[in-house]
Amino acid sequence: MSQARETLEKVFREEHGRIVATLIRILGSFDLAEEALQDAFTSAASKWEQEGTPSNPGAWLTTVAHHKVVDAIRRDKTRNEKQEEVAFESTRLQPFTETELREETHEYPDDRLRLIFTCCHPSLVREAQVALTLRTLGGLTTTEIAHAFLVPEATLAQRLVRAKQKIRLAGIPYEVPSLEVIGDRLAAVRAVIYLIFNEGYAASAGQSLIRNDLCAEAIRLGRVLCELLPNEPENMGLLALMLLQDSRREARVNEEGELVTLEEQDRSRWDAAEIAEGMRLVQAALSLRRVGNYQLQAAIAAVHAEAKHADETDWRQIVALYGELLRITSSPVVALNHAAAVAMSEGPEQGLRLLEAAGGSGDALQNYYLFHASRADLLRRLNRLDEAATAYTTALSLTTNLVEQNYIRRRLEELKRKQ
């Protein structure tokens, strides 16, 4: 790949969200904005190849995209019934120069914020929110998103078409929501970003446990969110949580592609830079004294990150953090983790008691492979080997991820040798 081409692809990816967000505001259409940007990309490819990369590639792409928009509107003008509107758009678009554009971008630093809220609007289904966020804000291609989520490309393309159609026909606004609802909307945005991260981190099906590009993309989106809405502790908490989890990426899977538990991971392979950044963010977030779900999860990850060896882990602190998390979320999965932490801090017996209490409160956990895998681990440590084997077998039947399946199979074989 030529250098110009490489720069172009990098810029395209980095600037996609920013440019497309501004174009959507001006054009009032996701499709027109994407088309204009795609055209600009094609122009840039040939121009940069011949004349070298411009000094400010991002602004260059934006300017060219705007010109493409003007051209497209002029071309359409004869066919379009809404001539007056078009005339308005043309005059609106005409005067942009490179400098003006930069000022324009500076004046409206929140275009990406509008975009993020529109993509994650609650009237779109979660799959559509995710696809739209990755496509527009992340600049991923339809093919890339389809591969990442293991869905046929046609399905993904259709999902995007429907979402954009709904935005247009139902009048989903392109604006930052009002103060009354912004809290809920922001929670939905974070949920979308974290879902993208998790899909990358623990792929729910297929061969590879981690699809790194989705993790990287989620972290990038998390950074954008922190940049756009600073001093929002849960945004920092989310970014910190993702960084701290991502720091263990290299150690989480061994050479054979097998899952390595937190206890068994080679901690020298953890990413020190990500840990340092994550820790700083957790502290900054907690100092704002508006504690929340992501901050607590990040704080738990930070306690793990602080321990040089698994046996140095401050389990009492982790138990306390999970206790707080359970108080604010009352989620069965948190109850499961709380029980596992208690098992580490106070012993497997106490842990198992809490775990079984959590499992008895509803069937959400009964269908969750980790519930059975955790229960099996505790039974094994209590030397109740037959029960442990049964629980591992149940866990095995509940996951489709090959790496997770192999992990459980290994544990089952170990048990057989002991029995």
Partner 1 sequence: MKYMLLIYHDEPSWNAVPEAERQQIYGEYRNLRTDLQEKGQYVTGSQLQPISTATSVRVRDGKELITDGPFAETHEQLGGYFLIEAKNLDEATAIAARIPSARTGTIEVRPLVETAAEATA
Is there binding between residue 177 and partner 1 (CB under 8 A)?
yes
Q: Is 138 in the site for partner 1 (CB under 8 A)?
A: no
Least distance from partner 1 to the Cβ atom of residue 17, Å: 22
Residue (124 or 301) nearer to partner 1, CB: 124
The residue written with tokens 């629980």 in the block is 391
Instruction: State the CB neighbour count (10 A cutoff) for residue 123.
Output: 11
Q: How many CB atoms lie under 10 A from the CB of residue 261?
A: 11
- Is 181 a binding residue for partner 1 by CB under 8 A? The answer is yes
Considering the rule CB under 8 A, would residue 123 count as an interface residue with partner 1?
A: yes
Q: Is 211 in the site for partner 1 (CB under 8 A)?
A: no
Task: Give the count of residues interacting with partner 1 (CB under 8 A).
Answer: 15
Our finding on whether 206 is near partner 1 (CB under 8 A) is no
Q: Using the rule CB under 8 A, is 169 a contact of partner 1? A: yes
We find the least distance from the C-beta atom of residue 67 to partner 1, in angstroms, to be 23
419 contacts partner 1 (rule: CB under 8 A): no
Within 311-370, the residues that bind partner 1 by CB under 8 A are: none
Q: How many C-beta atoms lie closer than 10 Å to residue 307's C-beta?
A: 15
Q: From residue 76 to residue 115, what is the string marking binding to partner 1 with x (rule CB under 8 A)?
A: -----xx---------------------------------
Residue given tokens 């003008």 in the structure block: 77
Smallest separation (angstroms) from partner 1 to the CB of 187: 16
- Rule CB under 8 A: choose which of 55, 79, 171, 207 binds partner 1: 171
- Of 55, 178, 383, 419, the one binding partner 1 (CB under 8 A) is 178
Query: Cβ 61 to partner 1, closest distance in Å?
Result: 27
Binding site for partner 1 (CB under 8 A): 81-82, 121, 123, 168-173, 175, 177-178, 180-181
